């Protein structure tokens, strides 16, 4: 999630106990009243007649403040609590007693980034001892703009594309630099507990539970706010709202995570496989931390970032304590903030699993929620559907920050953009009429076998073989009329549109000639003219077939049941198109790339493609019956 480039670099480290504090202020507490300077209450000028806040204030008439909020963590180990650099932009009328809610942007990107060195991905895969024996511009919702005063160039102020829109509608806008970045102290750890503590401390300050100072050391209070806070942002800037919401902090009433992470493990790993964000092969948690580490005295954090490299474990790819600290799903039961989640169905940086699993977990805990899914990639919806998006955002914040009962919680939860650019509102997502339905591969995968909805290959085991070659791209293997480096299976042309909504998976019976190999699968849409599109894809390490936190040896020649989940999707296969399954080992753009030659053998009778299909098995039978 780097700014200016469209990938989300993430860095996490196993921190000493001092860096994983118990966060203060978990319970509700009374907010202090307005400061002395704002002691005279005034009637709010808000206009909510349409169910959304109307622009009633001049966004140019504001007070700008810079300050440092104390965070309850010492992640740079200098013996002092870390401080979060904050810039406040609030309506000028707050000086005369009006209290306003806050929209808060937290980011590690406000001060830019550093050069990065990526990990080598042309490496051999890990073999356990037992086996041996046998863009970023789209991600940054706020940037610095240079302002001059008295013929001197001031430190650039942080600005957001949403700032004027929000100020005019009665919100203060607050920006904070993540720990270890810009003017904040502490160290960046790519989603670690210290970063969450730093971002959360600003919500605590806005509610009178944390202290802040200005440059001179004078105490700064936030008596100008109601204490009702919303957080939003894209990519890393959208991940921090998820992290803070998962602490259950009082005062955080709503979040809008856009292209955001819910579990950092799933950003850099896939069921034990080391997997890169799309377009950024070799990126990992330590690389991202290095990129965002922009505080001026960076030597102090070198040991912390070095620890990330070891703790992230690019050798086995196993889930461990390091990743568990960065898994916000663990604490979704603490979330009370209303969540408006936004994601691109073509986002291969922060992949769709991140929003799908977060949204599902929120549903299980009955958290107020809504979801926007569009056809683009890792972008802010401002660039997709500006006016409708701003109206949606306005109504969301009006309901939960201005606390106006406008009924958004009773509306359909899902807004989806279809492949033709049209938009639809649905009760929820995935589609409530979707259920798992299977297709079975039939012989011929070296060139092209059939995908059949009726049954598996009968009789004695039918095995098809191929060999890994990471020098070949996935698309080139899809388009090859035949290949010894993949297996391909296609349905007959669909006799009707087929909608998939949810998470496809492949249940394999597979053996290997080597004790380590990648396993990847692609879901393909092939048009009548023969052109192909990779709809979604997935990866797994067969050594993690039993659990993502446990490596189990592979014995060459032995057949294993391995389940591989693809990235969730919502996709309509048009009538006349064919649906395809392409199986390969290494996926050049995403996985580690060992030397070619590992052999894989798939037993067709015990292998199936399972699709979340609207209408279920009957739809597949009607569309693809032969």
Task: Note the pLDDT tens digit of each residue in 555-566.
Answer: 999 999 999 999
Residue 286 Cα to chain centre, angstroms: 17
Q: What pLDDT, on a 0 to 100 scale, did the predictor assign at position 130?
A: 52
Q: SS3 of 38, please?
A: helix
Q: What pLDDT, on a 0 to 100 scale, did the predictor assign at position 145?
A: 52
Q: What is the DSSP string of 430-443?
A: S-TTEEEEEEEE-S
- Whole-prediction pTM: 0.92
Q: What pLDDT, on a 0 to 100 scale, did the predictor assign at position 207?
A: 98
Contact 94, 220 (CB under 8 A): no
Q: What pLDDT, on a 0 to 100 scale, did the predictor assign at position 11?
A: 33
Q: CA–CA separation, 198 vs 178, rounded Å? A: 7
Mean pLDDT of 75-86: 97
151 pLDDT above the threshold of 60: no
32 pLDDT above the threshold of 70: no
Say how many CA atoms lie within 13 Å of 350 toward its Cβ: 37
The packing angle between helices 285-292 and 302-311, to 10°, is: 160
Residue 524 is given by DSSP the state E
Size (the chain), residues: 626
Mean pLDDT of the chain: 91
Burial 190-225 (b: 16+ CB within 10 A, else e): bbbbbbbbbbbbbbbbbbbbbbbeeeeeeebbbbbb
Asked if 204 is an active-site residue, the reply is: no
Task: Note the pLDDT tens digit of each residue in 214-252.
Answer: 999 999 999 999 999 999 999 999 999 999 999 999 999
What tokens appear for 159 in the block? Answer: 């600005």
Residue 339 Cα to chain centre, angstroms: 14
Task: Note the pLDDT tens digit of each residue in 322-345.
Answer: 999 999 999 999 999 999 999 999
Contact 489, 586 (CB under 8 A): no
Of the residues 293, 343, 378, 402, only one is catalytic, namely: 378
30 pLDDT above the threshold of 50: no
Asked if 378 is an active-site residue, the reply is: yes
pLDDT band, residue 456 (cuts 50/70/90): confident
pLDDT band, residue 116 (cuts 50/70/90): confident
Mean pLDDT of 39-53: 81
**Residue partners of 352: CB distance under 8 A and separation at least 6:** 343, 345, 536, 567, 568, 569
Q: Which helix (H) or strand (E) holds 8?
A: none
Mean pLDDT of 156-174: 96
- Could you tell me which residues are beta bridge partners of residue 114? none
Q: What pLDDT, on a 0 to 100 scale, did the predictor assign at position 454?
A: 82
Of the residues 76, 81, 271, 347, only one is catalytic, namely: 347
For residue 543, which phi and psi values (nearest 5 degrees)?
A: -70, -20
pLDDT band, residue 389 (cuts 50/70/90): very high
Dihedral sign (CA 308, 311, 314, 317):
negative
Measured distance between the N- and C-terminal CA atoms of the chain, rounded to whole angstroms: 45
Percent of the chain with pLDDT over 90: 86
Q: What pLDDT, on a 0 to 100 scale, did the predictor assign at position 625?
A: 84
Of the residues 141, 235, 262, 586, only one is catalytic, namely: 235
Q: What pLDDT, on a 0 to 100 scale, did the predictor assign at position 186?
A: 98
Residue 550 Cα to chain centre, angstroms: 24
């Amino acid at each position: 999630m780097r700014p200016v480039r469209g990938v989300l670099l993430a860095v996490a480290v196993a921190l000493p106990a001092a860096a994983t504090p118990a966060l203060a202020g978990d319970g509700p507490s009374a907010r202090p009243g307005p400061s002395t300077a704002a002691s005279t209450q005034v009637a709010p000028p808000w206009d909510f007649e349409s169910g959304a806040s109307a622009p009633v204030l001049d966004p140019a008439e504001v007070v700008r403040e810079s300050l440092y909020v104390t965070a309850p963590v010492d992640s740079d180990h200098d013996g002092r609590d870390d401080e979060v650099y904050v810039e406040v932009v609030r309506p000028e009328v707050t000086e005369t007693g009006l209290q306003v809610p806050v929209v808060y942007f937290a980011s590690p990107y406000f001060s830019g980034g550093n050069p990065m060195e990526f990990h080598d991905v042309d490496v051999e895969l890990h073999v356990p001892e037992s086996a041996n024996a046998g863009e970023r511009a789209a991600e940054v919702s706020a940037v610095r703009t240079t302002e001059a005063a008295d013929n001197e160039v001031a430190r650039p102020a942080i600005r957001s594309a949403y700032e004027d829109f929000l100020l005019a509608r009665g919100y203060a806008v607050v920006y904070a630099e993540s720990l270890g970045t810009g003017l904040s102290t502490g160290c960046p750890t790519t989603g670690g507990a210290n970063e969450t503590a730093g971002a959360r401390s600003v919500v605590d300050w806005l509610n009178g539970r944390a202290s802040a100072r200005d440059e001179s050391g004078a105490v700064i209070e936030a008596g100008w706010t109601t204490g009702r806070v919303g957080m939003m942002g894209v990519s890393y800037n959208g991940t921090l709202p998820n992290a803070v919401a998962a602490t259950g902090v009082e005062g955080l009433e709503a979040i809008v995570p856009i292209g955001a992470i819910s579990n950092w493990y799933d950003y850099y790993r896939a069921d034990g496989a080391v997997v890169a964000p799309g377009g950024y092969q070799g990126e990992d948690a330590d690389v991202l931390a290095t990129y965002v580490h922009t505080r001026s005295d960076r030597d102090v954090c070198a040991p912390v970032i070095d620890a990330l490299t070891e703790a992230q474990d690019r050798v086995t790819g196993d889930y461990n304590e390091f990743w568990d600290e960065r898994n916000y799903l663990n604490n979704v039961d603490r979330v009370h903030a209303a969540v408006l989640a936004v994601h691109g169905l073509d986002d291969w940086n922060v992949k769709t699993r991140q929003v799908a699993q977060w949204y599902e977990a929120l549903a299980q805990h009955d958290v107020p929620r809504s979801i926007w899914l569009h056809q683009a990639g890792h972008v802010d919806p401002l660039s997709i559907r500006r006016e409708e998006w701003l109206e949606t955002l306005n109504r969301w914040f009006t309901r939960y920050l201005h606390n106006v009962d406008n009924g958004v919680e009773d509306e359909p939860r899902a807004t989806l953009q279809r492949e033709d650019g049209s938009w639809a509102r649905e009760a929820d997502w995935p589609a409530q009429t979707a259920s798992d339905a299977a297709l079975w591969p039939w012989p011929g995968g070296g060139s092209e076998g059939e995908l059949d909805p009726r049954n598996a290959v009968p009789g004695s085991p039918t095995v098809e073989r191929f060999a890994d070659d990471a020098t070949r791209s996935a698309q080139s293997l899809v388009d090859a009329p035949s290949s010894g480096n993949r297996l391909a299976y296609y349905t007959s042309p669909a006799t009707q549109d087929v909608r998939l909504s949810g998470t496809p998976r492949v249940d394999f019976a597979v053996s290997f000639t080597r004790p380590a190999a990648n396993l990847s699968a692609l879901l393909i849409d092939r048009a009548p003219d023969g052109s192909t599109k990779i709809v979604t894809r997935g990866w797994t390490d067969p050594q993690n077939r039993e659990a993502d936190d446990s490596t189990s040896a592979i014995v060459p020649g032995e057949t294993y049941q391995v389940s591989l989940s693809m990235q969730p999707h919502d996709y309509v296969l048009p009538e006349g198109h064919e649906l395809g399954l392409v199986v390969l080992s290494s996926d050049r753009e995403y996985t580690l790339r060992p030397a070619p030659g590992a052999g894989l053998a798939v037993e067709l009778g015990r292998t199936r493609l399972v699709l979340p299909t609207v209408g279920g098995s009957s739809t597949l039978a009607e569309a693809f019956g032969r």
